[in-house]
Amino acid sequence: MEVGMLPISASKRGKLLAAGYTTLDAIARASPSHLARDIEVSDNEASEILNLAAKASASEKPNETHTTVVGGGRTAWDMLNDEKFSSYITTSCVDLDNILGGGIKCKDVTEIGGVPGIGKTQIGIQLAVNVQIPQDYGGLGGKAIYIDTEGSFMVERVLQIAEACIEDMEEYRNHFHKDFQACDVKMHPNNILENIFYFRVCSYTEQIALVNYLDKFIMENKDVKIIIVDSVTFHFRQDFDDMALRTRLLSEMALKLMKLAKKFCLAVVMLNQVTTKFIEGSFHLTLALGDSWSHSCTNRIILFWNGNERHAFIDKSPSLKSASAPYSVTTRGIRNSTSNCKRIKMMNTSGMVLCLLCHGWNLKLGWLYLRGTVKFAVSFSYKELRSYLLPQVWFICYFPWLQLETGSTGVVLHAWLR
């Protein structure tokens, strides 16, 4: 039974939730003095709350005997067989799916963290769309719950990714010459948006209350196959003087989400931010909420930049080996990493220049002058080009709009737009 069912005032109920007392069992484990201190009430009021919680627990289980029966025992063989038939949600990136064993695994709590702009929210939206891929196309045909704590959820971006997902499925159908007319009716962008349940929370008390409500909500919407929290950290990184209270609240919330994942065979994805940590005389970036929080998740994935390329690294998993994979954030969503060499088109009224840019090179772009024409200079370190160019060779290539000078000490690419 939840605290919300206790016959107490709304203010006291809110104080209980804010202090981490979300169930009757949690209240029963507290003493009157501790409860009074945590929710800032008198000892008499705390004793009254404890008595009400005890009566509610007794009425909830009237036929319970003193003999405790522990159920749920299973053999390791049965558990291994269940692992063989585990469900996964694709990330739309083949390399990332490969290191994850097929995608984001159901029944697991997966934490994904990284610096701002690395694509955490994009991955969350992509998973909310991909979980709806019909079973005929290799998906789960489920629904998604998206909990937004930062206000970063953009419905226009969801529509864009949904349309791209449908286009991918049409290509799949045409490639294998299969007719999935029943699926075509469901897989319309509007239907995809209707199957994403969006919750905007503005405080940590709302976040805790929502997590406690999810059990009932999923019972009413049984097709939910993923819960995305973006981000789990936001409301817990501020306004917390009592770190012990914060740790307890986070632990209970993580435990609740883990139970939901097991009970309803769904995936829980918690997006996390980064913070700085002082280690051996210097500061290092690490995921927020500390070391104790890292034990609350089954899998932990860290997103990082490698030059100009995004990478995902499996930092912790009981069943997956540590590995990294590149990925890209495109207009179509999360996709395979693009080629190392890109061509950037720069156009004006009279012409176009194609400049070859390579990821990982030491690139310096500067304006030289602006006198009726625009001139760019791109210089590369020759040490990083020696595998691409013959050393100690000078050559100059002239084009109507391009001049390339190379030498043993460097390469300079001059482009004029006329």
Same domain? For 217 and 278 the reply is: yes
Same domain? For 321 and 348 the reply is: no
Same domain? For 247 and 367 the reply is: no
Same domain? For 205 and 116 the reply is: yes
Same domain? For 205 and 291 the reply is: yes
Judged by phi (left if over 0) then psi (alpha if -120 to 50, else beta), residue 170 lies in alpha
Using 50, 70 and 90 to split pLDDT, how confident is the model at 98?
A: very high
- The total number of structural domains in the chain stands at 3
**Final residue before a domain boundary, out of 307, 335, 363:** 335
281 inside domain: yes
Same domain? For 273 and 352 the reply is: no
Q: In this predicted structure, what is the pLDDT of residue 33?
A: 83
Integer CA distances (angstroms), 390 to 93, 181, 324, 404, 408, in order: 36, 57, 32, 15, 9
Same domain? For 348 and 329 the reply is: no
Section 278-285 average pLDDT: 69
Show the domain range for 371.
341-417
Virtual torsion, Cα 129, 130, 135, 141, nearest 10 deg:
-30
Q: In this predicted structure, what is the pLDDT of residue 186?
A: 56
Using 50, 70 and 90 to split pLDDT, how confident is the model at 4?
A: low
What's the CA gap between 222 and 143, in Å, rounded? Answer: 9
Q: Are 6 and 56 in contact (CB under 8 A)?
A: yes
68 inside domain: no
Section 88-100 average pLDDT: 96
What's the CA gap between 298 and 83, in Å, rounded? Answer: 14
Q: In this predicted structure, what is the pLDDT of residue 357?
A: 35
Q: Are 201 and 235 in contact (CB under 8 A)?
A: yes
Residue 83 has pLDDT above 50, yes or no: yes
Q: In this predicted structure, what is the pLDDT of residue 128?
A: 97
Highest mean pLDDT among 167-181, 338-352, 403-417: 167-181
Residue 49 has pLDDT above 50, yes or no: yes
Q: Are 96 and 325 in contact (CB under 8 A)?
A: yes
67 inside domain: no
Same domain? For 133 and 272 the reply is: yes
Q: Looking at the whole model, is its pTM more than 0.85?
A: no
**Final residue before a domain boundary, out of 18, 45, 60:** 60
Q: Are 277 and 316 in contact (CB under 8 A)?
A: no
Residue 306 has pLDDT above 60, yes or no: yes
Largest Cα–Cα separation, the chain: 93
What's the CA gap between 393 and 389, in Å, rounded? Answer: 8
Q: List pLDDT tens digits, range 329-380.
A: 999 999 999 754 343 333 333 333 333 333 333 333 333 333 333 333 333 3
CATH code of the domain covering residue 242: 3.40.50.300
Section 160-169 average pLDDT: 94
Task: Tell whether the torsion through CA atoms of 235, 300, 305 and 132 is positive or negative.
Answer: negative
Same domain? For 155 and 248 the reply is: yes
Q: Which residue has the higher pLDDT, 136 or 294?
A: 136
Same domain? For 169 and 265 the reply is: yes
Same domain? For 271 and 220 the reply is: yes
Using 50, 70 and 90 to split pLDDT, how confident is the model at 60?
A: low
72 inside domain: no
| Cis-peptide into 33, omega within 30 deg | no
Q: In this predicted structure, what is the pLDDT of residue 88?
A: 95
65 inside domain: no
Mean per-residue pLDDT of the chain: 76
Burial category of 47 from C-beta neighbours within 10 Å (exposed 0-12, middle 13-18, buried 19 and up): middle
Section 147-165 average pLDDT: 95
263 inside domain: yes
Range with the poorest average pLDDT among 217-231, 249-263, 277-291, 404-418: 404-418
Residue 382 has pLDDT above 70, yes or no: no
Using 50, 70 and 90 to split pLDDT, how confident is the model at 35?
A: confident
